[in-house]
Amino acid sequence: MRREMVARLRALPRARLQDASARVAARLVATAAWAGAEAVLTFLSMPGEIDTAPLIAAARAAGKTVAVPLIEEGDIRFVVLPPGVGGPDGKELPRDKWGIPVPDVAWAAFDPARATRPLVTAPGLAFDRQGNRLGRGKGYYDRFLTRARAACPGTVALAVCFSFQLQGEVPHGPRDAPVDGVVTEDAVIAIGDRESA
């Protein structure tokens, strides 16, 4: 499933990616999770992923704190994205060998324990309607979501993806952290009784 999804994402025309990304952002902004969030924790897009620049711009326009992931020692922590960096009109960041923008280690750390109701936009290759998420195999977000939910029970995680990434079922295990909902360019799917949308 990973190989299939990576191939489909790489084959997406840029115009479709940009259009779908804008539609995902519009749907996300209309959710209750967005309205109640003081902070939005979002990934910085690698080539072929939903472009999070519109989400970043919308969060800033709404006065929300924006935090982005920084990979350190085989794990991720979130740092606050400074004004004027990222988003469609912000300064671009250097990219790593996978094409992922790299935040500055000197940026202020985001502490989930001090957040009232953070919203995490979770990346992934495939998702299902039970909230299962297939990432790229490193477990970064599974570990982070587990820690964030323990530190702040109000944490909400919504997957943002293309509609074709929503599958009937994705492989998952006991260490995988499910999402609370899935937002595609076509729909918002709430998972079970978890509060999300």
Q: Is residue 67 part of a domain?
A: yes
8 Å CB contact between 101 and 137: no
Residue 100 is predicted with a pLDDT of 82
Q: Note the pLDDT tens digit of each residue in 17-63.
A: 999 999 999 999 999 999 999 999 999 988 888 999 999 999 999 99
- CA-closest candidate to residue 69, choices 137, 169, 133, 145: 145
8 Å CB contact between 28 and 34: yes
18 burial level (CB within 10 Å; 0-12, 13-18, 19+):
middle
b/e sequence 28-47, b meaning 16+ C-beta within 10 Å: bbebebbeebebbbbbbbee
- CA-closest candidate to residue 122, choices 170, 73, 193: 170
Residue 116 is predicted with a pLDDT of 82
Residue type, 22: A
Q: Is residue 30 part of a domain?
A: yes
- CA-closest candidate to residue 194, choices 163, 141, 154: 154
Q: Is residue 178 part of a domain?
A: yes
Residue 73 is predicted with a pLDDT of 82
Give the rounded percent of residues in the chain with a pLDDT score beyond 70.
Answer: 94
Count of structural domains, the chain? 1
Q: Note the pLDDT tens digit of each residue in 134-177.
A: 878 788 899 999 999 999 999 999 999 999 999 989 888 888 89
- CA-closest candidate to residue 163, choices 22, 20, 57: 20
Residue 155 is predicted with a pLDDT of 94
Whole-number Å distance between alpha carbons of 109 and 124: 23
Average pLDDT over residues 110-132: 91
Average pLDDT over residues 63-72: 93
Query: In a 3-state reduction of DSSP, which class is residue 122?
Result: strand
Q: Is residue 197 part of a domain?
A: no
For residue 78, the tally of other CB atoms under 10 A from its CB is 24
| Residue 89 banded pLDDT, cuts 50, 70, 90 | low
pLDDT at 195 over 80: no
Residue 186 is predicted with a pLDDT of 94
Q: Is residue 12 part of a domain?
A: yes
Residue 71 is predicted with a pLDDT of 87
pLDDT at 66 over 70: yes
Range of the domain at 28: 2-190
Whole-number Å distance between alpha carbons of 126 and 18: 19
Average pLDDT over the chain, rounded to whole? 88
Average pLDDT over residues 9-22: 90
> What's the CATH code of the domain at 54?
3.40.50.10420
